[in-house]
Amino acid sequence: MTSVEIAGESVLLLPEKALYWPARDWLLVADVHLGKSASFRAMGVPVPGGTTGETLARLDAAIARVSPREIVFLGDFLHSRQARTPGVLEAAAAWRATHAGLAMTLVRGNHDRHAGDPPAALRIDTVGEPFTAGPFVLCHHPEPRPEGYVLAGHLHPAVRVSGRGRDSLRLPCFHFTACVGCLPAFGAFTGTALVSREAGDRCFAVADDRVIDVSLL
């Protein structure tokens, strides 16, 4: 874990690609995209299976690491209506049952408008953006808001880290500007987009079980 200060609050960046806010005991997760591979298979696109289980296992790991009081999903919980297959929904329900005492809230994103809210049996409260909490404005779209410092997702941010010669790695990252913080996509079957960094931005790459400050690289 890596500790950083954002908007006067200490937060932890987890290698599971989630953010933990100790003051509220909240775990923030962006872009889960459950059922994305199932959505592609429904369209006849041959993609690997097992990504729902992988995503839920990483959620388990993040929960075990910090034992939060609540999870706030920053949009795009389900990928699409086609994601609502019996297999995906049964896996999500079984996962939810193992965390029955944990409060969960979804800040709706663009995919949620198409996929619909999570099934009622998952007991995930849903709210629209912006969702204000202390100095933070929790959103799906990473756009500045007058109400406070925005924490969001949507962009699936990544950074390119160069090594010797022409070697380089493209890694998911947390990207913090002066007024907006963008979390990496959490889902196992999600793409990435390289961030455009400006002077003063902070950037933390996720590499396996480490979160690395690459702000000056």
Task: Name the residue ranges covered by the structural domains of the chain.
Answer: 2-213
pLDDT digits (tens, 9 = 90+) for 187-199: 877 778 899 898 8
In this structure, are residues 33 and 76 in contact, taking their beta carbons and an 8 Å threshold? yes
pTM for this structure? 0.91
The CATH code of the domain at 2-213 is 3.60.21
| Dihedral sign computed on CA atoms, order 119, 121, 122, 123 | positive
In this structure, are residues 71 and 29 in contact, taking their beta carbons and an 8 Å threshold? yes
pLDDT digits (tens, 9 = 90+) for 119-167: 889 999 999 999 999 999 999 999 999 999 999 999 999 999 876 666 7
61-84 b/e (C-beta count within 10 Å ≥ 16 → b):
ebbebbebeebbbbbbbbbbebbb
Distance CA 83, CA 33 (A): 9
Tell me the C-alpha to C-alpha distance, in Å, between residue 39 and each of 46, 154, 159. Answer: 11, 18, 27
